[in-house]
Structure 1
Amino acid sequence: MFQVVVKAFSVSLAAPGPRRILLSARHYCEKTPTKVRVSEALSRTELGTNVKVQGWVRSVRPQKTNVFLHVNDGSSLQSLQVVASPELDDPLLTFGSAVEVTGVLKKSPHQRQPVELEAKQIRVVGECNPVDFPFKIKERHSLEYIRQFPHFRCRTNAFSSLLRIRSEATAAIHSYFKDNGFVQIHTPIITSNDCEGAGELFQVEPSGSHIDNENFFSVPAFLTVSGQLHLEVMSGAFSRVYTFGTTFRAENSQTRRHLAEFYMVEAEVSFAQSIEDLTKVMEDMFRSATEHVFAHCVEDVDLFHKHVTPGHRDTVDAMLKNRFPTITYSEAIDILKRSSETFVFPADWGCDLKTEHEKYLVKHCGNIPVFVTDYPYDLKPFYARDNQDHPQHTAAAVDLLVPGVGELCGGSLREERLDLLRARLEEVGLADTYSWYLDLRRFGSVPHGGFGLGFERYLQCILGVESIKDVIPFPRFSRSCVL
């Protein structure tokens, strides 16, 4: 159970203590320097420009004639080399310290870097004791190790690259939907419905003895597990809608694929006539976003594919090169039954596919993403469209299975036929709760369908990262809510 408490408060910030300013004895131009990011400095062609760079020290190397620093501000994987005279060296200038460096951009004599900054002034903004700092210079720490320090791991190369990739992937997905005529909808985080029907909900209640918990919302309220039903409301006025936001599952799970709080990309398409109308959007979005990320985050993606998950680039290239095949659930069960693999869970018709089944199916189909359609009707929620095929009785539902992860997307055509939907809701005892949902079918209903994509699983898929906890800034899972 979650309690939501909002209190007004004030914070008094004391003035920061004095910081050392280290000035070169050499002549320093008084012209106001141009403030630039490290990425801008590295790409700058105007050599001789007087600039100011602010960031964190990634390395310090004092020598007799010069002091060499590498400064990074998070704008790129590559750091900017700073060359300073020995008189600018100081005990405060350490690995991890925050600095402001002013100087002149010059062409670097080394081929590995286009420019370097000849420092005229260095200001230590924030000190850092490298002995106590959990990350050590010149050490490549594992994702599992840096996960122990959620308040510091953004300062490592691997996780800063992940965050830049995550940001670019977010922008790419929004761009795909905008370019294809989708309207973004901000669906609520607090909701009164359980879209999935699995009961894995966090209940929301106000905290405080002066508040009447029972009457705050008048009905039980929960953190959303999906924005789908709200998108279905909007699909009665817009032909294409989507949402991209936080969702929650109260799963007591410690697996590498599950989180209690994660991000979902969800879309709803009105006038959809077949599952193919949905699978086309899923596949096109996957390709568009991945190609965009690989084109705009070259160094960051390479870091993962070369050092974190070697060889994974070939897997992703195969995904982008080949069209995604489609098989039915019944065909999937036949494939599993004919395999020589020994599964922990039986693969019988009517059972839900487990991760081991999903991985085998992906491997069987050439280790590329595969769509599985037409699941048993009883496995799917009340809103999935009844195929009315007897005796199998399946639903017009689809999952996208991908290498290394298993299920990435799940979707279905929605049941738009009022009589069948009413019967289904009555069968599961939800007819009164979802009377508004029935109203959607009574007034201007159209055939429609949609899907949801787990954003963190998508990042796992394209980067090859083993644990979902390593692709989200602050992972939330059972018995862990750090920060």
Structure 2
Amino acid sequence: MRNLCSLRVNVLYRCFSTSHKKFFSNVSISEVINLKQTGRKVRVKGWVKALRVMKNNIFFDVSDGSSVGKLQVVLSHSEKPTDLSVGSSVKVEGVTNVNPHNNAQPELIASVVDVIGSCDIQNGYPFAPRKTYSPDYIRQFLHLRPRTESFASLLRIRNAASIAVHSYMNSKGFILIHPPMLTSNDCEGAGEVFQVTAYNDNLVTEMLKDGLPEDEAYFDGKAFLTVSGQLHAECVARSISKVYTFGPTFRAENSRSRLHLSEFYMIEPEIAFVESLDDVLLLMEDFLKTIVTSLLNTEAEDIGFLYRNSNMKSTEYLARVLDSPFGILTYDEAFDVICKNVHEFKTRPRKDDGLNKEQELFLVKNNGGCPVFVINWPKEMKPFYMKELVGNSSMVSAVDLLVPRVGELCGGSLRETDPNIIAERLKLMHLEEQLQWYTDLRRFGNVPTGGFGMGFERFLQMLLPVENIKDVIPFPRWPHNCRM
């Protein structure tokens, strides 16, 4: 009998649910805006972005983050909840309409408005409607920054860019691997690493009984946050020929410039059986052009919104990224160009110092705004794993890709294949024991490999009119700032 009653209740519930769904369908605001239907009964949920009290009705704009567009809701004064305000979250049921007096824009004639979460705009809410704020001001409120229209657009573009990266790599036969964030090595050899220790006094005390220093007690050696997934990608590329990583990396660099973060994302493809740097250059160029083209097609609305609300206004400069072959200069040729234009720079160039940001951007400008590959670098300027040029052991087969607005976007190389050369370099760095496994890769069934790394946030800066790299990542970390 109990089972029969339960069955009846379930049937009634399903009937009610089906009937209710036919009456009010849950939809995203982007769907309502794009379909532009009249007379459809819908339910939307979102946040109030603006509110206008008129003589006969109340008008308020709602966004649920599904698109840059906002849906205007029309509500009679008698139906207005007392706690309806800008910033509050709401559930709205009503009938869709197309407003003939407002360029046929869709709107929702509300029958029910429920405030889900009120917003005390008089007591600390930092964003007022119809007011613009500087990125520096908005950055003070990381927990509320996604509520701003510009940052919501950025997050949608960032999501689409991530999908485009994975789609490209999948189409080219690359396998995604997840390298560890905790590692015992410093891939770049520059010492810009964050060391990791256990934050547990009892655990550390227990482990110290083995006689190890406190900073080595947990892993029986020093551990760091990774600066690159490349070395781990090299391991896997010697089994699965084409691999890539896409994950967070960390640099303990004391810089608060508009182009530096302490935590950022890197895309790092690694390919086996690569003997020419040209293969790496071709992949870099095709990858960049394909991803930019994809985003200009799929995210035109959000990208256009960001440009309209910036000083740049136009994406025309991106045409030079897409329409022409990238330039190629050796490091020596690039420095000759710089020396012939020494009057363009604030400080006198020195060949032994490498290329600074001002010089990188000048080389792009000098190439008509088109990206430039700078290849064949002095060995002492580059990490230990890069392959020496044939016939010139002072240079390595390395490349930096310079692009508009940010300068260096990608860095890559052929990897040194000779185990003796690798062992000698590691010995000079006092890393021969720590990275013995890296030498072993060259001793057991080795193949030549090459690859590159691209900073994801710098890519977004190149694509978008965003001046500061801290404004293309949801929760930026930089020296003296690790909030939330």
The answer, yes or no, to whether TM exceeds 0.5 is: yes
Alignment length, in residue pairs?
A: 454
Percent identical residues: 44
Distance 2:422 2:96 in 1: 68
2:458 alignment counterpart? 457
Unaligned runs of 5+ in 2: 1-19, 208-213
For residue 308 of structure 2, what is the amino acid of its counterpart?
A: K
| TM-superposed deviation, 1:344 | 4.3
**Could you give the per-residue CA deviations for residues 5-37 of structure 1, whole angstroms, max 9, x where no partner exists?**
xxxxxxxxxxxxxxxxxxxxxxxx995411111
The answer to whether the 8 Å contact 1:34/1:51 transfers is yes
The answer to whether the 8 Å contact 2:226/2:249 transfers is yes
1:88 paired with 2:79, answer yes
2:50 alignment counterpart? 59
2:34 alignment counterpart? 43
RMSD across aligned C-alpha pairs, in angstroms?
1.7
For residue 57 of structure 2, what is the amino acid of its counterpart?
A: N
Distance 1:143 1:466 in 2: 9
> Greater shift after overlay, 413-422 or 172-181?
413-422
For residue 287 of structure 1, what is the amino acid of its counterpart?
A: K
Of 366, 370, 373, which residue of structure 2 is paired with 1:371? 373
1:275 alignment counterpart? 277
Distance 1:394 1:113 in 2: 64
The answer to whether the 8 Å contact 2:254/2:479 transfers is yes
Secondary structure of the corresponding residue to residue 336 of structure 2: helix
For residue 39 of structure 1, what is the amino acid of its counterpart?
A: S
Alignment of 1:268-347 (within 5 A): 268-347=270-349
The answer to whether the 8 Å contact 1:244/1:266 transfers is yes
Secondary structure of the corresponding residue to residue 44 of structure 2: strand
The answer to whether the 8 Å contact 1:81/1:116 transfers is yes
| TM-superposed deviation, 1:429 | 2.6
1:101 alignment counterpart? 92
The answer to whether the 8 Å contact 1:204/1:223 transfers is yes
The answer to whether the 8 Å contact 1:37/1:75 transfers is yes
Secondary structure of the corresponding residue to residue 446 of structure 1: coil
Distance 1:112 1:287, change over 3 A: farther
Of 60, 64, 73, which residue of structure 2 is paired with 1:73? 64
1:446 alignment counterpart? 447
| TM-superposed deviation, 1:45 | 5.3
Unaligned runs of 5+ in 1: 1-28
Of 131, 134, 137, which residue of structure 1 is paired with 2:126? 134
1:244 alignment counterpart? 246
2:17 alignment counterpart? none
2:434 alignment counterpart? 433
Distance 2:30 2:149 in 1: 15
Distance 1:441 1:309 in 2: 51
Of 192, 197, 202, which residue of structure 1 is paired with 2:189? 197
For residue 110 of structure 2, what is the amino acid of its counterpart?
A: A
Secondary structure of the corresponding residue to residue 381 of structure 1: coil
The answer to whether the 8 Å contact 1:309/1:465 transfers is no
**Scaled by the length of structure 2, what TM-score is found?**
0.90
> Greater shift after overlay, 327-336 or 282-291?
282-291
Alignment of 1:88-237 (within 5 A): 88-112=79-103, 114-131=105-122, 132-211=124-203, 212=207, 213=214, 214-237=216-239
2:415 alignment counterpart? 414
| TM-superposed deviation, 1:312 | 4.4
For residue 275 of structure 1, what is the amino acid of its counterpart?
A: L
The answer to whether the 8 Å contact 1:183/1:240 transfers is yes
**Could you give the per-residue CA deviations for residues 50-103 of structure 1, whole angstroms, max 9, x where no partner exists?**
111000001111222221111000000010111112212244111111100011
1:16 alignment counterpart? none
| TM-superposed deviation, 1:345 | 4.4
The answer to whether the 8 Å contact 1:304/1:310 transfers is no
The answer to whether the 8 Å contact 1:309/1:463 transfers is no
> Greater shift after overlay, 238-247 or 210-219?
210-219
2:483 alignment counterpart? 482
Distance 2:432 2:390 in 1: 21
Distance 2:422 2:65 in 1: 51
1:472 paired with 2:463, answer no
| TM-superposed deviation, 1:111 | 4.8
Secondary structure of the corresponding residue to residue 332 of structure 2: helix
**Could you give the per-residue CA deviations for residues 151-183 of structure 1, whole angstroms, max 9, x where no partner exists?**
111111111111111111111111110111000
Secondary structure of the corresponding residue to residue 162 of structure 2: helix
**Could you give the per-residue CA deviations for residues 289-343 of structure 1, whole angstroms, max 9, x where no partner exists?**
1111111111210122222242441111221112211111000110011104353
Of 357, 362, 365, which residue of structure 1 is paired with 2:364? 362
Distance 2:188 2:285 in 1: 23
Secondary structure of the corresponding residue to residue 68 of structure 1: strand
Distance 1:112 1:443 in 2: 69
1:22 alignment counterpart? none
Distance 1:30 1:66, change over 3 A: farther
Distance 2:445 2:101 in 1: 68
The answer to whether the 8 Å contact 2:81/2:114 transfers is no
The answer to whether the 8 Å contact 1:345/1:354 transfers is no
Distance 2:71 2:104 in 1: 8
Distance 1:228 1:130 in 2: 48
For residue 462 of structure 1, what is the amino acid of its counterpart?
A: L
For residue 121 of structure 1, what is the amino acid of its counterpart?
A: V
Secondary structure of the corresponding residue to residue 308 of structure 1: coil
